[in-house]
Amino acid sequence: MKVFKFGGASVKDADGVRNLAEIVRTQGQDVLVVVSAMGKTTNALEDLVRAYVNQQANNVHTGLATIKAYHKQVISDLALTGEFSPVYETFAQLESYLSQKPNGSYDEIYDQIVSLGEVLSTQIIAAYLQQRAITAQWLDARQLVCTDTTFREGRVDWEETSLRINQNVPETGVKITQGFVGQTQANRTTTLGRDGSDYSAAIFAYCLNADSVTIWKDVPGVLNADPRWFDETILLDKLTYQDAIELAYYGATVIHPKTIKPLQNKGIPLYVRSFLKPDAPGTVIGNFEQHLSTPSFIFKVNQVLISLRPNDFSFIAEDNLSRIFGRFAQAGVKINLMQNTAISFSVVVDNNPDRVPALLTLLKQDFRVSYNDSLELITIRYYDQGTIDRVLVNKRLLLEQKSRYTVQLVVKDLG
Ligand code: ADP
Ligand code: ASP
Ligand code: MG
């Protein structure tokens, strides 16, 4: 069996759904198709959650109307005449949920609402496949992917998930299911973290011992840099699992970082291909001898460099480090880079306005805190001095960290 994954951009409108159907018809016989919410639906649902929790009736009303109108437009553009009533049942379910008073933590409510984006997209796509006479079985991923109760970042219970998947996913034919979603033992819906549908594809593939996973993207494959930031990118036709993990971990957003490890453990190849050019080979990630020969670049903007010095003049040793990491975990801030000297500790993080101010307040209890924002973090894998010099043109270097294969540069743009 193969696993295909289609992201939001690939199914943002009726043409996208038609294109998916064509790829499945021509390339997917015994395939499990994992799909994200259509277009920017997840963002729209996030706004709806905020309005609902704050009980802003007008915003709830318009948010819901916009989401419904968008999906109805796709249904109408696809001229769906067959069995698409499940979509209307999902609308009704959402409406009924929103008509009650909010109950539970923000994150739990978030998962009950935001997960429905994937439910809607797969219901529409399943109905369209049926209309095209492609027999496809719709599967509810919430009942297959079992997680703990960490809402918005559910941790997978691999044993239970594997059991459920193997009991319920047929070997042959086309199956369609949702990315991003799961369920606790007590049947509460969870999600796996933003952009988690790539990871869902890997979960299914791992449990099914799939022959391969293909994630269909709006780029020709994995490039040596994000084409949104760099003009002259190079397609990497082959990548080792290790290189792919490192690139994703440092922020190459083309693959969700959690996707690769389960596939590596079972030696399942991961193809990254273009849904716009479905005949092109793209990138294959697998067990190869040779690592990359071209330098790859990862670029993160809106970074903040935070430097800490203990108020009591102590050294940055185990006790201080554990206190620092505890504060970061408490504030829910992920560290992109860290470096220390005897008396100071520096970290670089995304400047998230919802989290960083609270983190700074926490840190100020024990440390003298200084920070520098509007920075960029550039990571180069397989660097050489010439490459570093080129990316530093017109930038002021604030911090540099080198390991054997990777260099990270924290810079201020002077342009
Ligand atoms: P999906 O809709 O499947 O979730 P994403 O938008 O998450 O797709 O991923 C595709 C995007 O990843 C591309 O449009 C591209 O801008 C970005 N990207 C970042 N780094 C790279 C890279 N190294 N190679 C290719 N694309 C990259
Ligand atoms: N729909 C979810 C998101 O936008 C999951 C995904 O697309 O991978 O984050
Ligand atoms: Mg993504």
DSSP states of 162-191 as a string?
A: HHHHHHHS-SSSEEEEESSEEE-TTS-EEE
Q: Which CATH class is domain 296-413?
A: alpha beta
| Mean pLDDT computed over every residue of the chain | 95
CA dist 159 to 59, 142, 260, Å? 41, 15, 18
Nearest CA to ligand 2 atom 8: 195
In b/e form, how buried is each residue of 30-40, taking b as 16+ CB within 10 angstroms? ebbbbbbbbbe
The number of the ligand 2 atom at minimal distance from the alpha carbon of 7 is 7
Superfamily of domain 2-210: Acetylglutamate kinase-like (3.40.1160.10)
Which parts of the chain have pLDDT scores under 50? none
Own/partner contacts of 309-314, CB < 8 Å, gap of 24 or more, are 309/343, 309/344, 309/345, 309/367, 309/368, 310/343, 310/366, 310/367, 310/368, 311/366, 311/367, 311/368, 313/343
The pLDDT value given to residue 283: 98
Please list the alpha-helical segments (H only) found in 267-354.
318-331
The two counts, helices (H) then strands (E), for the chain are 13, 16
The pLDDT value given to residue 82: 67
Q: What are phi and psi of 326, to 5 degrees?
A: -60, -45
Contact 102, 55 (CB under 8 A): yes
Q: What are phi and psi of 405, to 5 degrees?
A: -110, -15
Q: Identify the three-state secondary structure at position 133.
A: coil
CA of 217 to the centre of ligand 3 (A): 9
What global pTM score does this model have?
Answer: 0.93
What are the residue ranges spanned by the domains of the chain?
A: 2-210, 296-413
The pLDDT value given to residue 21: 98
Ligand nearest the Cα of residue 9 is 1
Query: Does the beta carbon of 10 sit less than 6 angstroms from any atom of ligand 2?
Result: no
Whole-number Å distance between alpha carbons of 383 and 399: 16
Q: Identify the three-state secondary structure at position 369.
A: strand
Pairing of strands 174-178, 181-183: unpaired
Amino acid of residue 30: D
CA of 340 to the centre of ligand 2 (A): 35
The number of the ligand 1 atom at minimal distance from the alpha carbon of 221 is 25
**How many degrees, rounded to 5, is the angle at CA 16 between CA 31 and CA 118?**
65
Q: Which of 194, 217, 247, 250 to mutate to test the pocket of ligand 1 (most atoms within 8 A of CB)?
A: 217
CB atoms within 10 A of CB 284: 19
The pLDDT value given to residue 149: 97
Q: Same CATH topology for 2-210 and 296-413?
A: no
Contact 34, 197 (CB under 8 A): yes
The pLDDT value given to residue 354: 84
The pLDDT value given to residue 341: 83
